[in-house]
Amino acid sequence: MKNLSLAILCVFFVISCTKTKKDTSVKVKGSLSQSTGKINELSVIIDNELWKGRIGDTIRKYFGAEVPGLPQEEPLFSMRQLPPEAFSGLAKRNRTFLKIEKGNTEDIVTATNNFSTPQLGFVITGTTDDTIIDLLQKNSESIISKFKKMEMTEKQNRIKKSLEYIPQLKEKMGITLKIPTAYRIAKEEEKFFWLRKDITNGDMNLIIYEMPLDAIKKDSTTITSIIKMRDSVGALKIPTSSGKFITEESYAPYLYKTTLDGKFTFETKGTWEIKDRFMAGPFVNYVIEDTTNNRLLVIEGFILAPSVRKRNNMFELESIINTIEFEEH
């Protein structure tokens, strides 16, 4: 009788295990190779004919969309298309990939650290072109957001390998930032910092300052107030031989709501210009609501690099800014 009870218990246990909910995050156990790939480079695994057709057009529409706020048109991702038979060996180690398959189901599977680490992939399966296109249209925003988060984490990990220690930021501004050693202090005041990095044909810049807590309202005047704020600070703090460092007037900047270090933040992306000198470039401005210290903490990244692609440089500035931490008292 005891043996029979034990046998029944074992059968019950096996049946229970087989009913466990399927995990859509695919992982492989064991030692994995380090992933490869440039920042914002995406492998697209898809049959050549599908890539040339409507499915390929849909992928290019969403994943190759124009990055907002840049003076020249640049895509969200640099895409490299591979047919399924070429997705092997080193190609499987790319940090991000999107795989399209025709099958008997309609599904999106998340592939986490499947062939290397860190790695994030999405496998989209559909029965027809229309079902695959529908899945892409409905899920592209979420997928892109997760890819960008992966890329920012990777960029921040690379930055951490060689950091510049700037204790004054903590002492005077009450913040810490993960800043690469290539940046130097161009200007330092009691409540204003300007950090600079030389690049080919130009430079990358970070400026940090404070504003009164009520300087920017959460209403229809927000974007106008941010433009007025950055133009007044830029004209006063950023020296030019002629003209003023202001927001480009022809196009309204893009405004988003986000959080940095758990604090409500306005994120603004647009183009700056210096009139009379025909100089311009992209900027990203963050206005962080620091109620603990009764202030707005403003941190902005901008680039001067004529005739140079700027997507990845701006992404570096955004990645640095997103490492911000506030010293709580």
Would 17 be classed as within a structural domain?
A: no
Helices (H), 283-326: 311-321
Would 7 be classed as within a structural domain?
A: no
Residue 268's pLDDT is 98
Would 9 be classed as within a structural domain?
A: no
Which one-letter DSSP state was computed for residue 123? Answer: E
* Domain match, 43 and 66 both: yes
What domain range is 43 assigned to?
A: 22-159
Would 79 be classed as within a structural domain?
A: yes
Q: How far apart are CA 136 and CA 124, in angstroms?
A: 8
Residue by residue, pLDDT tens for the chain (329 residues) are: 434 344 433 433 333 333 333 334 444 445 899 999 999 999 999 999 999 999 999 999 999 999 999 989 999 999 999 999 999 999 999 999 999 999 999 999 999 999 999 999 999 999 999 999 999 999 999 999 999 999 999 999 999 999 999 999 999 999 999 999 999 999 999 999 999 999 988 999 999 999 999 999 999 999 999 999 999 999 999 988 788 899 998 888 999 999 999 999 999 999 999 977 778 999 999 999 999 999 999 999 999 998 889 999 999 999 999 999 999 76
Burial class (CB in 10 A: 0-12, 13-18, 19+), 207: buried
Residue 299's pLDDT is 98
For strands 279-290 and 295-304, give the pairing. Answer: antiparallel
Contact 327, 171 (CB under 8 A): no
Domain boundary among 117, 132, 159: 159
Number of domains observed in the structure of the chain: 2
CATH classification at residue 177: 3.40.1000.10
* Domain match, 183 and 250 both: yes
* Domain match, 106 and 41 both: yes
Would 12 be classed as within a structural domain?
A: no
**Strand, helix or coil at 79?**
strand
* Domain match, 69 and 195 both: no
* Domain match, 283 and 179 both: yes
* Domain match, 172 and 154 both: no
For strands 33-34 and 116-117, give the pairing. Answer: parallel
* Domain match, 88 and 173 both: no
* Domain match, 85 and 186 both: no
* Domain match, 95 and 126 both: yes
Which one-letter DSSP state was computed for residue 90? Answer: G
Taking alpha carbons only, the member of 273, 254, 268 closest to residue 296 is 268
Predicted TM-score (pTM) of the model is 0.88
Between the alpha carbon of residue 56 and those of residues 59, 118, 125, 142, 294, the distances in Å are 5, 26, 14, 19, 50
Domain boundary among 126, 159, 192: 159
CATH classification at residue 53: 3.30.379
Contact 268, 247 (CB under 8 A): no
* Domain match, 110 and 186 both: no
H or E, element range at 12 = helix 2-18
Residue 20's pLDDT is 31
Taking alpha carbons only, the member of 102, 171, 97, 108 closest to residue 135 is 108
Would 11 be classed as within a structural domain?
A: no
Would 296 be classed as within a structural domain?
A: yes
Q: Is the peptide bond before 75 cis (omega within 30 degrees of 0)?
A: no
Residue 277's pLDDT is 76
Domain boundary among 159, 192, 207: 159
* Domain match, 318 and 177 both: yes
User: Beta partners for 16?
Assistant: none
* Domain match, 105 and 234 both: no
Would 191 be classed as within a structural domain?
A: yes
